Amino acid sequence: MATAKTLWYCTNCGNESPKWMGRCPACGEWNTMVEAPVEKKSAGSGSKGLSAKSSDARKPVRLKEIDRSKEPRMSLGLPEVDRLLGGGIVPGSLVLVGGEPGIGKSTLSLQIPLASGLRTLYVTGEESERQVKMRADRLSSDRNPDNEQTLIFTETRIESVIEQAEAIRPELMIVDSVQTMFTDTVESTPGSVSQIKEVAAMLLRFAKTSGVPVLLIGHITKDGYIAGPKILEHIVDVVLQFEGENRGAYRILRSIKNRFGSTSEIAVFEMTGNGLREVANPSEMLIPMHEAGLSGAAICATLDGTRPLLFEVQALVSSAVYGTAQRSATGFDTRRLNMLLAVLEKRAGFHLSAKDVFLNMAGGLKVSDPAADLAVIAAVLSSNFDYSLPGDSCFAGEVGLSGEIRPVAQTDRRIAEAARLGFKRIYVSSFTPLTGELPKGIKTVKVADVPALVKSLFSNA
């Protein structure tokens, strides 16, 4: 069985190559190729437990003859996760939950069997039975810790895992994590590219043939090096990714791929002393706790996926003490901040080049919606003048290079959310095509460019 043949894999995109290359020709990343032995498919005596025959016997069917009834779904007991999946998990699907270490993947995956009461096989290669028990006790304050339906299995050999799963036939299987599992059919160490691929492929085969949905956990590191989730994205049905600053309490679970529902949906959680708590109305958590009246804060009406989200943008502008001015942004692209500062300098005549500028998105959020531009500019100017913005106003607009304010997608939904939260005014682009009635109690302030915004906000400053 010891064949010396090896292949090179890109740890970023999973591309295969017969020889080493400094740069992956598929994704263009440098230094991402790693060597891994090729598994001999026919030699895989260990995988005979998987009935590949039933799928071999399949025949093509006419499109019009396919049953159109909805996919059945199973609830995972956490409404926000169900919503993210498109209304529950689909039997026989393989769902990958990725995220950095310590973000809460194991916590979430243990909360699911406790909250849903599904007969679950929870396989862990990372923790001992006692550790899982201790965690379950921690989570137990409002759930049932003695859930009889949850079976804990500490095992890393995937053949044994699948054997047990075939025997038990649970309603749900959870595997924590793909990096710790290994198969006998591949000779490399657990966590290597070929192991990860094969383990995922075996779990996929199990899910498809048995109809048991499988939740697979995968680690990603900050620099994205650890092979795994990226490579698996092609194989699995659904990819959910955990995001958030480790220091902050908020975690965002984002759907990146979903064969059974829409992507770019998010669910927000708060990490508490006893587990993750779903935040059904994230905006309410992210808008200021203080009375209006502090300078440097502006409320931004963004859209994350299809979900409107209002939160506070904070800026601090101060004279640079040392020669060069510092620019630092948390949760926002620093290059974009530099661009906005350059626009303020060139188009509105603010000399910020000798000032330090610090920017922060509340709650440890990472924001990529261009609609945040307007709030960033408003917060920077507010701090610069040390003049607070009215607490009942919020902002949604993209700023262009010539200082013009551009309309953003789905302004109506942002306005509706702002109105729901009691905002009286929302600053938007003059070019926003608004049709239909505005919700009660909110007015739009239309601004065409940065000077118009400055005039509107600070004319009596």
Provide, rounded to whole angstroms, the least separation between the CB of residue 186 and ligand TYD: 25
Should residue 143 be labelled a site residue for ligand TYD when binding is judged by CB under 6 A?
no
Nearer to ligand TYD, 82 or 100 (CB): 100
**193-210 helix and 158-168 helix, angle to the nearest 10 degrees:** 10
Helix (H) or strand (E) holding 445: strand 443-447
Q: Cα 241 to chain center, whole Å? A: 4
| DSSP label of 128 | -
Write the binding mask 249 to 288 for ligand TYD: x where contact by CB under 6 A, - elsewhere.
Answer: ----------------------x-xxx-------------
Verify binding: residue 107, ligand TYD, rule CB under 6 A.
yes
What residues contact residue 250 under an 8 Å CB cut-off, 6+ apart?
244, 268, 269, 270, 271, 279, 282, 285, 286, 363, 364, 365
Stretch that binds ligand TYD, among 61-69, 131-139, 185-193, 333-341 (CB under 6 A): 131-139
Using CB under 6 A as the binding rule, whether residue 99 contacts ligand TYD is answered as: yes
Least Å distance, CB 34 to ligand TYD, is 23
Neighbour count for residue 200 (Cβ, 10 Å)? 26
Helix axis angle, 129-138 to 105-116, nearest 10° = 70
Close Cβ partners of 137 (under 8 Å, ≥ 6 residues apart): 145
| Structural contact between residues 286 and 309, judged by C-beta atoms closer than 8 angstroms | yes
Residue pair 105/124 in contact (Cβ under 8 Å)? The answer is: no
User: Whole-number minimum distance, CB 263 to Mg ion, in Å?
Assistant: 24
Partner interacting with residue 274 (select from ligand TYD, Mg ion, none; CB below 5-8 Å by kind): ligand TYD
Among 14, 50, 89, 105, binds ligand TYD (CB under 6 A): 105
Q: Of Mg ion, ligand TYD, none, which one sits near residue 103, judging by CB under 5 to 8 A according to partner kind? A: ligand TYD
Least distance in Å: CB of 111 to Mg ion?
13
If one asks whether residue 323 binds ligand TYD (CB under 6 A), the answer comes out as no
Is 413 among the residues that bind ligand TYD (CB under 6 A)?
no
Q: Does 101 bind ligand TYD (CB under 6 A)?
A: yes
Residue-wise DSSP of 44-81: -GGGGGS--HHHHT-----GGGS--SPPP-B--S-HHH
Residue 40 site contact among ligand TYD, Mg ion, none (CB < 5 to 8 Å, cut-off depends on kind):
none
Closer Cβ to Mg ion, 106 or 194, answer by number:
106
Size of the site for ligand TYD (CB under 6 A): 15
Which of ligand TYD, Mg ion, none sits in contact with 439, Cβ below 5 to 8 A by type? none
Taking alpha carbons only, the member of 213, 257, 185, 450 closest to residue 342 is 450
Q: What DSSP state is assigned to residue 175?
A: E
Q: Which is nearer to Mg ion, 135 or 157 (CB)?
A: 135
CB of 29 to ligand TYD, least distance (A): 25
Q: Which stretch binds ligand TYD (CB under 6 A): 12-20, 132-140, 187-195, 436-444?
A: 132-140
CB of 218 to Mg ion, least distance (A): 11
With helix as H, strand as E and coil as C, how does 342-396 read?
HHHHHHHCCCCCCEEEEEEEHHHCCCCCCCHHHHHHHHHHHHHHCCCCCCCEEEC
How far, in Å, are 116, 265, 277 from residue 141 at the CA level? 15, 29, 12
Q: Are 379 and 296 in contact (CB under 8 A)?
A: yes
104 scored as a contact of ligand TYD (CB under 6 A): yes
Pick between residue 106 and residue 185 the one whose CB is nearest to Mg ion: 106
The answer to the question of residue 92 lying near ligand TYD (CB under 6 A) is no
Q: Does 248 bind ligand TYD (CB under 6 A)?
A: no
Query: Would you tell me which residues interact with Mg ion (CB under 5 A)?
Result: 106
Q: Round to whole Å and give the CA distance between 197 and 12.
A: 13
**Nearest distance in Å: CB 273, Mg ion:** 18
Q: CA 168 → CA 93, 94, 120, 122, 124, distances in Å?
A: 18, 18, 9, 12, 16
Nearest distance in Å: CB 139, ligand TYD: 6
Binding footprint of ligand TYD on the chain (CB under 6 A)? 99, 101-107, 135, 138-139, 271, 273-275
